[in-house]
Amino acid sequence: MSEDATTAGKSFLTPFNIVAGIIIIIGLFVTVLRFTMGLGTVTNLSDYNPWGIWISFDLLVGVALAAGGFVTSTAVYIFGMKKYHSAVRPAILTGFLGYLMVVVALNYDVGRPWRLPYPFIMQQGTTSILFEVAACVALYLTVLFLEFSPAPLEWLGFKKVRNIVIKLTLLLTIFGVVLSTLHQSSLGSLFLIAPSKLHPLWYSTYIPLYFFVSAVIAGLSMVIFESTLSHRYFADKMDEAHLKEKNDIALGFGKAASLVLAGYFIVKVIGISEGNHWHLLGTGYGLWYLVELIGFVALPCFFYAIGVREKNLNIIKWTAAWTVLGIVINRLNVGTIAFNWHLPASERYFPHWMEIAISAFLVVALLLIFRFIVTHMPILYTHPDYPEEH
């Protein structure tokens, strides 16, 4: 065997690739079981608990963390913050893959996935909130695909089509903002119909606002988090503009995240006061709620502010990762942990290991696709044929 072949073999057999390969194989096996044997074989879902982690994690978390696309494009193309331009394509790519994962995950969760398009064909004009969410997600996934498409079009050399899409950038951005505002808040509105199921500390008439504001926080933090990982693992793919603007992006988005977190904390406290649920803070669920509110809202707000004030990028980067974790915990709380809280322990939902395997499978598949795209397409650098991008 030649030295080059040996080196290639060693570089391929990295710890990440080995673990990812195992997860992919297990995920494919469970996928076959899911679509041949049914939901009952691979999940712990029931009539009492029809929504599991495929909804609370794959959908609610996925949609929130994919908000970086509309947040970044809004900042750059609507508010004219051109110094963040290098963050647009990575954010759009992350958003597109996030929404794509949501749609794929729905096919696992829905008993008859081939009927997903039926509401668009058979029930025009429905007033269902779930229909509105589905319509907005489907439309926004299309918008994200179009916003992302210049990168593969440049890679493939389709200049004319690419130039047409570029001319639609502002229109797509405005449309994306409208759709994101609608479905991010409407995901929270879904829980308004379940006041007896969701714990009072998480249930509120403000929950649509909670979901939208926290999605903006997730988007800002995810851009910083993704940028940090990209600069660590794909620095060789970056051009001078991306390397130069990384500090401005961290500082600017960190400052915005701190301000939005402060507003989010105030609105959450108002929600407790409006519902007069102060006495519930002393219960077990109340203590867990305080962990979420103080540990994953107030503290990140404080540390973002400190990081920006001191221009300490390490604090900002670690705070971004902590905030992303907080969004995950919040969505799991609303969708699973604090849902059906009144049921006895024997009837409470806990995910089957195969449900967890599918979620891990989807996340790993998303990471592998992201790695392939940023390795081969002009995401972290400007294509030499289009120098006007910067």
Is residue 375's pLDDT more than 70? Answer: yes
Query: According to the model, what pLDDT value does residue 6 have?
Result: 46
Measured CA distances, 132 to 123, 178, 185, 189, 212 (Å): 12, 13, 11, 11, 15
Query: According to the model, what pLDDT value does residue 7 have?
Result: 47
Dist. CA 62–CA 332, nearest whole Å: 11
pLDDT (average), residues 48-67: 91
Per-residue confidence band for 390, with pLDDT thresholds at 50, 70 and 90: very low
Is residue 124's pLDDT more than 80? Answer: no
pLDDT (average), residues 194-203: 93
Is residue 382's pLDDT more than 60? Answer: yes
Task: Return phi, psi of residue 203, to 5°.
Answer: -80, 135
Dist. CA 247–CA 249, nearest whole Å: 5
pLDDT tens digits along 65-121: 999 999 999 999 999 888 898 899 999 999 999 999 999 999 999 888 888 887 777
299 C-beta neighbours (distance < 10 Å), count: 16
Per-residue confidence band for 389, with pLDDT thresholds at 50, 70 and 90: low
Contacts of 251 (CB under 8 A, 6+ apart): 308, 311, 313, 316
Contact between 172 and 147 (Cβ < 8 Å): yes
Among 280, 330, 101, smallest CA distance to 339 is for 330
Contact between 210 and 338 (Cβ < 8 Å): no
Is residue 330's pLDDT more than 60? Answer: yes
pLDDT (average), residues 299-306: 98
Query: According to the model, what pLDDT value does residue 388 have?
Result: 59
Residues forming a β-bridge with 339: 198
Q: What is the mean pLDDT of the chain?
A: 91
Dist. CA 196–CA 45, nearest whole Å: 19
pLDDT tens digits along 130-157: 788 888 888 999 999 999 999 999 999 9
pLDDT tens digits along 199-222: 999 999 999 999 999 999 999 999
Query: According to the model, what pLDDT value does residue 48 have?
Result: 81
pLDDT (average), residues 175-187: 90
Q: Where are the beta strands (DSSP E) in 117-172?
A: none
% the chain with pLDDT above 90:
73
Whole-prediction pTM value?
A: 0.91
Query: According to the model, what pLDDT value does residue 3 have?
Result: 47
Among 250, 184, 245, 187, smallest CA distance to 221 is for 250
Query: According to the model, what pLDDT value does residue 240 have?
Result: 83
Choice among 29-33, 116-120, 224-228, 286-290 with the minimum mean pLDDT:
116-120
Dist. CA 181–CA 197, nearest whole Å: 25
The count of residues in the chain is 390
> What domains appear along the chain, each with residue ranges and CATH number?
20-381 (1.20.1630.10)
Structure-token match 């322990």, residue found:
345
Residues forming a β-bridge with 198: 339
Per-residue confidence band for 241, with pLDDT thresholds at 50, 70 and 90: confident
Among 240, 231, 227, smallest CA distance to 384 is for 240
Question: Rg for the chain (alpha carbons), in Å?
Answer: 22
Dist. CA 324–CA 54, nearest whole Å: 18
> What is the amino acid identity at position 224?
I
* CA atoms 270, 263, 336, 132: torsion sign: positive
Is residue 181's pLDDT more than 60? Answer: yes
